[in-house]
C-alpha cells in the first residue's frame, strides 16, 4: 500500500511566499518575451486514418510548416526561436501538428504510432514552450523507452503554458480554456486507433488541463503527476469513466502549495483539493522520493509506475481510493507489469 505523501515544511511560510508572488506579478509578468511572428500552418486536418504512409506524409507536411516558421523567425531577428525550430525540422522528429503563432504549439510523436497498442499523451506544465521544450522531449523519450513494444508517446504542447511566476498559474482558467483542444485531439487519436489503449499523463499545471478535458477525452487513464490541484474538489466532479491516478514525489515542493481557492476580487487564486488526498478520491501510486522535475527520470520509481499504468493500468503497490470518497468510475484491465527499458 502506498503512503500518501505528507507536507514537510510550514504552510505559513508558503502562504507568505504566495503573497510575495502576487505582489511581484506586475514586474515579473512584464518580463516575458513578446510573441514571434509565424505563418498560419497548412496542416490543419483532423488526424484521420493512421497508417505508416499517411503518417509519413503528415510528418513531411508539418516539417514544411516548421521550416516556414523558422524562416520568418530568422527574418524577425529572433535567433533563439529560429534555432529551436531548426531542430524540429530534423527528419528524425515526427510532428503531427505545429503552429508557431501565439507562442507556439506542437504535437510530437515518439515511437511507431501506426502500430501502437498503447499510447501515452504527455501534457506538460508551466514554462514549457516551443523554444524551451527539451524537458518535455526528454520525458517523452524516457517514457517511450520504459514502455513495452508496440507503444507510442505523444508530447502534446497544444496550449500556451503559464509562466511559473504569474497569476495564470494560480488558477484553473488557462487549463479550462485548453481542455477542448486536448479532448479534441485525444478524440481524434482514439477514433484513428480504436484498439489502442490511450492514457493521459499530465505533469504539474498540465494536470489542470487534463482534469478539465477528462470528461470528453475518452482516455482509459488520467495520470496526475506532481499536481498543484486541478480546480476540482474530487474525482467525481471530473465526470469521467477513466481511472484517475495521482502521485507525488517525496521531495516535490508542490506538496507545500496551499490547497485552497481564494476569491480576491480581481482574480481567483488556488487550485483546490490535493489530488493525492483521500478526499479527492484518486488512486494513489508510488512516485518515489524525487522532486518536481524527476517524475520521468530514467530508472525512477515514478517513471516505472507511470509506464505500468499506461501499459496495463496496474502500477506496483497502488493505493485504492478511500471507499467513502468519490472514486473513478472506469475499469481498467490489469496484467503483467511492463519490462523496464531505460534511455
Judge whether 4 and 283 are in contact, CB under 8 Å.
Answer: no
Q: How far is CA 2 from the centre of its chain?
A: 23
Q: What is the mean pLDDT of residues 276-280?
A: 97
Q: What is the mean pLDDT of residues 318-333?
A: 41
- Statement: residue 80 has pLDDT above 60: yes
Q: Is 231 left (phi over 0), alpha (psi -120 to 50) or beta?
A: left
pLDDT of amino acid 144: 98
HEC-encoded secondary structure of 102-132: CCCEEEEEEECHHHCCEEEEEECCCCCCCCC
Judge whether 125 and 205 are in contact, CB under 8 Å.
Answer: yes
Judge whether 41 and 97 are in contact, CB under 8 Å.
Answer: yes
Q: How many Cβ atoms from other residues are within 10 Å of residue 318's Cβ?
A: 20
Q: What is the mean pLDDT of residues 81-92?
A: 94
pLDDT of amino acid 121: 98
Q: What is the mean pLDDT of residues 296-309?
A: 97
HEC-encoded secondary structure of 32-95: CCCCCCCCCCCCCCCCCCCCHHHHHHHHHHHHHHHHHHHHHHHHCCCHHHHHHHHHHCCCCCCE
Q: Which residue has the higher pLDDT, 316 or 77?
A: 77
Which pLDDT tens digit goes with each residue over 23-51? Answer: 334 333 333 444 788 999 999 888 888 99
Q: Which residue has the higher pLDDT, 329 or 296?
A: 296
Q: What is the pTM of this model?
A: 0.84
Q: Which residue has the higher pLDDT, 333 or 146?
A: 146
Q: List the single range of 13-17, 90-94, 168-172, 305-309 with lowest mean pLDDT.
A: 13-17
Q: What is the mean pLDDT of residues 311-315?
A: 87
245/328 Cα distance (integer angstroms): 9
Q: Which residue has the higher pLDDT, 336 or 229?
A: 229
Q: How far is CA 261 from the centre of its chain?
A: 22
CATH topology of domain 102-312: Rossmann fold (3.40.50)
Q: Which residue has the higher pLDDT, 115 or 322?
A: 115
Q: List the single range of 20-29, 103-112, 213-222, 316-325 with lowest mean pLDDT.
A: 20-29
pLDDT of amino acid 336: 30
| Pairing of the two strands 268-269 and 262-263 | antiparallel
Cell of 252: 516535490
239/216 Cα distance (integer angstroms): 9
Q: What is the mean pLDDT of residues 43-69?
A: 94
- Statement: residue 320 has pLDDT above 80: no
- Statement: residue 193 has pLDDT above 80: yes
Range ranked top by mean pLDDT from 4-18, 146-160, 311-325, 327-341: 146-160
Neighbouring-strand partners of residue 222: 200, 244
- Statement: residue 12 has pLDDT above 80: no
- Per cent of the chain over pLDDT 90 is 70
Q: What is the mean pLDDT of residues 73-83?
A: 93
Task: Indicate the pLDDT class of residue 319, thresholds 50, 70 and 90.
Answer: low
pLDDT of amino acid 2: 58
Is 243 exposed, middle or buried (CB count within 10 Å of its CB: 0-12, 13-18, 19+)?
buried
Q: What is the mean pLDDT of residues 79-103?
A: 94
How many helices and strands, by DSSP H and E, does the chain display? Answer: 7, 10
Task: Indicate the pLDDT class of residue 262, thresholds 50, 70 and 90.
Answer: confident
Long-range pairs for 167-170 at CB < 8 Å and ≥24 separation?
Answer: 167/22, 167/25, 167/29, 167/267, 167/269, 169/126, 169/205, 170/18, 170/21, 170/22, 170/267, 170/269, 170/270, 170/271
pLDDT of amino acid 44: 84
Amino acid at each position: 500500500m502506498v503512503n500518501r505523501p505528507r507536507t514537510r515544511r510550514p504552510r505559513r511560510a508558503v502562504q507568505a511566499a504566495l503573497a510575495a508572488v502576487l505582489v511581484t506579478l506586475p514586474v515579473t509578468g512584464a518580463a516575458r518575451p513578446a510573441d514571434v511572428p509565424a505563418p498560419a500552418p497548412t496542416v490543419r486536418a483532423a488526424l484521420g486514418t493512421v497508417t505508416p504512409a499517411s503518417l509519413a506524409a503528415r510528418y513531411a507536411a508539418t516539417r514544411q510548416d516548421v521550416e516556414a516558421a523558422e524562416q520568418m523567425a530568422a527574418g524577425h531577428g529572433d535567433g533563439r526561436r529560429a534555432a529551436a525550430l531548426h531542430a524540429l525540422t530534423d527528419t528524425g522528429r515526427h510532428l503531427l501538428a505545429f503552429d508557431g503563432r501565439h507562442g507556439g504549439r506542437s504535437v510530437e510523436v515518439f515511437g511507431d504510432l501506426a502500430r501502437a497498442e498503447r499510447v501515452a499523451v504527455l501534457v506538460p506544465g508551466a514554462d514549457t514552450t516551443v523554444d524551451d521544450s527539451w524537458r518535455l522531449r526528454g520525458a517523452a523519450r524516457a517514457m517511450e523507452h520504459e514502455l513495452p513494444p508496440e507503444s507510442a508517446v505523444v508530447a502534446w504542447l497544444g496550449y500556451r503554458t503559464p509562466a511559473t511566476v504569474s497569476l495564470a498559474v494560480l488558477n484553473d482558467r488557462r487549463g479550462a480554456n485548453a481542455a477542448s483542444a486536448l479532448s479534441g485531439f485525444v478524440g481524434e487519436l482514439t477514433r484513428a486507433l480504436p484498439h489502442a489503449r490511450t492514457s493521459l499523463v499530465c505533469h504539474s499545471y498540465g494536470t489542470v488541463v487534463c482534469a478539465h478535458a477528462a470528461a470528453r477525452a475518452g482516455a482509459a487513464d488520467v495520470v496526475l503527476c506532481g499536481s498543484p490541484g486541478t480546480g476540482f474538489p474530487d474525482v467525481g466532479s471530473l465526470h469521467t469513466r477513466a481511472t484517475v491516478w495521482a502521485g507525488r514525489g517525496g521531495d516535490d515542493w508542490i506538496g507545500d502549495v496551499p490547497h485552497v481557492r481564494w476569491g480576491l476580487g480581481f482574480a481567483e487564486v488556488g487550485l483546490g483539493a490535493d489530488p493525492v488526498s483521500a478526499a479527492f478520491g484518486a488512486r494513489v501510486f508510488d512516485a518515489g522520493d524525487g522532486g518536481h522535475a524527476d517524475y520521468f527520470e530514467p530508472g525512477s520509481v515514478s517513471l516505472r509506475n507511470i509506464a505500468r499504468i499506461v501499459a496495463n493500468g496496474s502500477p506496483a503497490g497502488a493505493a485504492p481510493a478511500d471507499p467513502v470518497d468519490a472514486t473513478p468510475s472506469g475499469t481498467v484491465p490489469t496484467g503483467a507489469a511492463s519490462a523496464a527499458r531505460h534511455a
